[in-house]
């Protein structure tokens, strides 16, 4: 039985993970900004728990960094020392609106990059002296290359990607796993406004299963589903002189 903190627990992908983790007997500390959604999740997860596990909730807007340290302290108080942290919150910006507003762009960078970096830094400092723990963060394939249709989101996810590379390098000698999760298109509330969903689309459950497998196997970087590794390899190799002319 391990203790797992999930930031952005009400996200569709995180919810899929929680169902597997509760079935596997783990204790959960769920952080989200919507108290009603968290309470519904907690009731559902407690009904599914078979080993009298703890499921606790905390509300916070994760763009307020001053909440981060107290959240870790609260989780340690109610669960005991955490073993795994999953950072799952995020927002898909309106790219055109961001182009017209520096404030909106900075807000999206704060949600998708800076708040994540703050939470990962605190997790690292918690785990490093103990020489154990897993920090899993949901990034995106969008962070692999900037495209005109979503480069604010892509830049934030790319920043997190590079940050986690460095963190992984720092923490390897302390045997701490730093997992970067890179989903492709996933059918969740975040993408509900996109009308046509084709063969490349995955369900939150598919991605949740991939995350659980990657955490259990102490992986470093996973593309989910796996074929995105190949797609992004091709996309990364397109020369910039050609890439800048494509409508992507």
Binding region for ligand NAP (CB under 6 A) out of 18-26, 40-48, 49-57, 87-95: 87-95
Distance CA 111, CA 89 (A): 8
The nearest distance, CB 234 to ligand NAP, in angstroms, is: 18
Which of 89, 150, 161, 210 contacts ligand NAP by CB under 6 A? 89
User: Tokens for 52?
Assistant: 């009298």
Size of the site for ligand NAP (CB under 6 A): 26
* DSSP class per residue in 55-118: EEEEE--TT-GGGHHHHHHHHHHHHSS-SEEEE-------HHHHHH-HHHHHHHHIIIIIHHHH
Decide if residue 235 touches ligand NAP (CB under 6 A): no
Contact 114, 61 (CB under 8 A): no
Decide if residue 70 touches ligand NAP (CB under 6 A): no
Contact pattern for ligand NAP over residues 134 through 173, marking x by CB under 6 A: ----x-x---------------------------------
Taking CB positions, which residue lies at the least distance from ligand NAP? 90
Residues 8-27 contacting ligand NAP, CB under 6 A = 8, 10-13
Give which of 248, 13, 62 is closest to 151, Cα–Cα.
Answer: 248
| Phi, psi of 26, deg, nearest 5 | -90, 155
Residues that bind ligand NAP (CB under 6 A): 8, 10-13, 32-34, 37, 61-63, 88-91, 111, 138, 140, 183, 185-186, 188-191
């Amino acid at each position: 039985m391990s203790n797992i903190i999930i930031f952005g627990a009400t996200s569709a992908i995180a919810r899929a993970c929680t169902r597997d983790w509760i079935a596997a007997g783990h204790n959960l500390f769920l952080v989200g900004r919507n108290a009603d959604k968290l309470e519904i999740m907690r009731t559902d997860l407690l009904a599914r728990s078979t080993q009298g596990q703890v499921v606790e909730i905390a509300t916070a807007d994760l763009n307020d960094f001053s909440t981060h340290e107290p959240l870790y302290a609260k989780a340690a108080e109610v669960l005991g020392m955490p073993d795994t942290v999953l950072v799952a919150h995020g927002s898909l910006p309106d790219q055109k609106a961001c182009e017209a507003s520096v404030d909106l762009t900075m807000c999206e960078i704060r949600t998708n990059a800076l708040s994540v970096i703050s939470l990962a830094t605190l997790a690292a400092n918690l785990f490093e002296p103990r020489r154990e723990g897993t920090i899993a963060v949901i990034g995106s394939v969008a962070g692999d290359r900037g495209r005109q249709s979503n480069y604010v989101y892509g830049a934030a996810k790319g920043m997190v990607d590079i940050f986690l590379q460095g963190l992984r390098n720092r923490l390897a000698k302390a045997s701490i796993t730093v997992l970067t999760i890179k989903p492709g298109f996933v059918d969740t509330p975040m993408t509900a406004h996109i009308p046509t969903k084709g063969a490349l689309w995955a369900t939150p459950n598919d991605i949740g299963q991939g995350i659980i497998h990657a955490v259990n196997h102490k992986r470093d970087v996973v593309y989910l589903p796996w074929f995105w590794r190949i797609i992004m390899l091709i996309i990364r190799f397109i020369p910039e002189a050609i890439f800048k002319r494509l409508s992507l």
